[in-house]
Structures are given as structure tokens and as C-alpha cells.
């Protein structure tokens, strides 16, 4: 009920060494997808409504998932899925693929999809000793329920100049795109997140970071994997080390709970975040592209 759209990540091929093969990880992942409600099965493809995005965007949104190796993506299958989506009254189709999968990217473009986001996936090895942070005037602590209102407002303000996939899509009003991140925060306080950290000074929230433990499937196949879901800082408080502090505090928290690898996606153009990642020992692991196709406008 509280699952934002970013929960539907591709199986992490950079973690394939943790199970017998990436193909095995894909198979388990895909079988779990087939258990979802409102799933339309196309063999090696599946179309699933993303209820969170549908509610937030006020249109019916479907995500296309697939069980394929690079070079196996089929334009004909994509056409079948699109035709079925029209019959099922979907408004928007979303598909995320690896940037290196040339056939998948070309097939989506040929089918009329538009690329709205390119993301880098970074990972942090919790075994490594991280750099210490300089002293600061602000405090980082775990969020409390009473923080939700201020966190919601801060998210909408912080992402007002963002350039993620919702902002890049010309069919989504910018005001609605801004609001999506506030809804993401609200869902996190409602149970989506496992840990939420806030940075504050003199009772004012300056930033927030959201963290998730590995899913049940990940705990079984990829033990030790956790997720950096979202981090942001007030536009009035940037360049003061707040994002670094929120990130390092989250890493330390998950490390204490026994997690070994943390993955964190960020937009390919978000250079400040990537600089922080690199500075504190995160390493680039992969890159993905997300495509949108509007069936109704």
C-alpha cells in the first residue's frame, strides 16, 4: 500500500556473485512478481500496475518487467504488451533497462517510448572503514512521527528544481512532479522505510535520508544488501556537509545492523551527490535508463 515506484528496481546484476548466477536471481525475482495483484503475464515479460504511482499521478500506470539476458529483448513482444495495456485502460507504461542493453533501449525507442531518466547505481562496502566527518552545528538523529509534516514540506521545497524522471516527462505537470517526493516521504513514514534520519539545527529540519533493509527475496538470495532510498537537503542549507552527514550516519546505522552492501541510485546528472558518494568510499556499479510511453494524453 505504501510502496513508491522506486521499489521495482531491476535485479541487481552487480550482486550476481552472491547467488549461483544472475539468471537464477532474475528467475526468483520474476516468479515473485507473478504473485502480485493485477499482473498480466507474457511469458518472459510481465505488466504490473504500480498502484502507488497510479494514485500519485492520478492515471493508471503499468510497469513492464522482463526475464531476459542482454540482446534478447523483443520489439514484437513489446508491441503485444502495449496492445494489451490499451485494452486494460492503462494510461502510462514504464520500463527500466540497463544502459548497456542496446537492443532493449533501441526496441523501446522504436516502440515510441521516451527516455526520461538515466541513473547511476552506486554501492558501499560496509566492511571498509569510512572517512570521519568534521564537526558541525547541526544534529543528525532518527526521525520521529512528529517530523513528518516538516519533512513533507522540506521534500517539496528541495525537489522544486529537480530533474528526475517525473520532472523530465512533459506530460506531467511540474507542480505534480514536485509533490511526488512529498508523497514519497509520507509513504516512508507510513511504513515504506525501515529507517529515516533527519538533520536539524535549532529545531529546524535541514535534510532527511531514507533507508530500507533488503526485501525477503534479497535476504534469501543476496544477504547483506540494503538500500539508500532517498536523501535531500533544504535549498537554503546546501554545501554545509548535511547530505554527507546524513549519508554517513545511515551507513553506520546499517553497518551496525549487519548489512554488508548498500546500493544507492542517483540521477546521472546529479554530480554533487556522486561526489559525496566517491568521497566516502561509494563505487559506481551500474547504470539504468527509464522509459515512459503515454497511451492516453
Whether the CB-CB separation of 141 and 207 falls below 8 Å is answered with no
For 200, phi and psi rounded to 5 degrees?
-140, 155
* CA diameter of the chain: 59
Instruction: Give whole-number Cα distances, 192 to 2, 87, 185, in Å.
Output: 6, 31, 9
User: 280: closest CA among 239, 234, 254, 248?
Assistant: 248
How far apart CA 32 and CA 150 sit, in angstroms, is 36
- Give the per-residue pLDDT at 1: 37
For 254, phi and psi rounded to 5 degrees?
-70, -35
User: 47: closest CA among 20, 11, 99, 83?
Assistant: 83
| DSSP string for residues in 92-112 | EEEEEEETT-HHHHHHHHHTT
- Give the per-residue pLDDT at 16: 52
User: 227: closest CA among 199, 275, 259, 188?
Assistant: 259
Q: What is the DSSP letter of 263?
A: E
Divide the 297 residues of the chain into consecutive groups of 10 and give the mean pLDDT of each group: 41 54 65 70 85 92 80 84 95 93 92 95 82 74 95 90 88 88 93 95 94 84 87 85 93 92 92 94 92 89
The H or E element that residue 154 is part of is helix 148-158
Instruction: Give whole-number Cα distances, 234 to 4, 39, 159, 201, in Å.
Output: 22, 39, 9, 12
All three cell numbers of 151, joined, read 519533512
The 114-125 sheet, strands edge to edge: 39-41, 45-49, 61-66, 92-98, 283-294, 114-125, 261-267, 225-233, 204-213, 195-201, 139-142
Separation of CA 132 from chain center: 27
Cβ contacts of 133 within 8 Å, gap of 6 or more: 241, 244, 245, 248
Whether the CB-CB separation of 185 and 198 falls below 8 Å is answered with no
pTM for the predicted model, two decimal places: 0.87
- Give the per-residue pLDDT at 43: 78
Q: CB-hemisphere CA count at 13 Å for 96?
A: 19
The H or E element that residue 22 is part of is helix 22-33
Amino acid at each position: 500500500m505504501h510502496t513508491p515506484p522506486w521499489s521495482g528496481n531491476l535485479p541487481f546484476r552487480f550482486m550476481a556473485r552472491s547467488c549461483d548466477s544472475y539468471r537464477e536471481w532474475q528467475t526468483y525475482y520474476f516468479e515473485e512478481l507473478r504473485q502480485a495483484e493485477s499482473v498480466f503475464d507474457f511469458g518472459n515479460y510481465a505488466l504490473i500496475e504500480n498502484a502507488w504511482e497510479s494514485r500519485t499521478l492520478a492515471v493508471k500506470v503499468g510497469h513492464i518487467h522482463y526475464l531476459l539476458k542482454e540482446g534478447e529483448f523483443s520489439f514484437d513482444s513489446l508491441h503485444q504488451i502495449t496492445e494489451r495495456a490499451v485494452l486494460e485502460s492503462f494510461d502510462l507504461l514504464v520500463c527500466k533497462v540497463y544502459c548497456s542493453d542496446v537492443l532493449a533501449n533501441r526496441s523501446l525507442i522504436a516502440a515510441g517510448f521516451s527516455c526520461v531518466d538515466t541513473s547511476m547505481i552506486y554501492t558501499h562496502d560496509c566492511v571498509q572503514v569510512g572517512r570521519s566527518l568534521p564537526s558541525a552545528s547541526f544534529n543528525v538523529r532518527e526521525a520521529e512521527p512528529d517530523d513528518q509534516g516538516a519533512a513533507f514540506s522540506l521534500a517539496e521545497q528541495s525537489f522544486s528544481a529537480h530533474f528526475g524522471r517525473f520532472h523530465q516527462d512533459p506530460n506531467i505537470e511540474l507542480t505534480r512532479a514536485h509533490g511526488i517526493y512529498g508523497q514519497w516521504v509520507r509513504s516512508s513514514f507510513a511504513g515504506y522505510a525501515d529507517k529515516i534520519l533527519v538533520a536539524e539545527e535549532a529545531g529546524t529540519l535541514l535534510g532527511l535520508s531514507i533507508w530500507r533493509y533488503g526485501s525477503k527475496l534479497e535476504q534469501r538470495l543476496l544477504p547483506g544488501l540494503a538500500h539508500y532510498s532517498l536523501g535531500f537537503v533544504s535549498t537554503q542549507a546546501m554545501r554545509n556537509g548535511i547530505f554527507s552527514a546524513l549519508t554517513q550516519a545511515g551507513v553506520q546505522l546499517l553497518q551496525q545492523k549487519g548489512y554488508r552492501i548498500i546500493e544507492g541510485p542517483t540521477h546521472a546528472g546529479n554530480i554533487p551527490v556522486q561526489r559525496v558518494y566517491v568521497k566516502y568510499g561509494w563505487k559506481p556499479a551500474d547504470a539504468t535508463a527509464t522509459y515512459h510511453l503515454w497511451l492516453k494524453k
